[in-house]
Amino acid sequence: MSNVQSPEESLDCVGLMCPEPLFQTREAMDALQIGDVLEVFADDPAAVEDLTRFAKRAGHEMISVEEVEDGRRFLIRKGR
């Protein structure tokens, strides 16, 4: 992951259930510039599928999804 830029923003959605992580991620992505990276922490089991689908449909790049202590860490690069 050393070739991935540091995230411009970080979003903590731990403890929130569907559809809140998706809504908050969409709102945060709207505020970023193209090429910026958003870091999202979420523990909702549906977040993997929801955020991956959202990124693809919206033209963003899901850089990584990794297991962390409190759930998962997503890195999403804004595409358009």
3-class DSSP state for residue 23?
helix
Specify whether 18 is catalytic: yes
**Residue closest to 63 by CA, chosen among 33, 39, 29, 28:** 39
What span, in angstroms and rounded, lies between the C-alpha atoms of 60 and 17? 22
Query: Would you give the DSSP letter of residue 79?
Result: -
Catalytic choice (18, 32, 48, 62): 18
Beta bridge partners of 68: 71
Residues labelled as active-site residues = 18
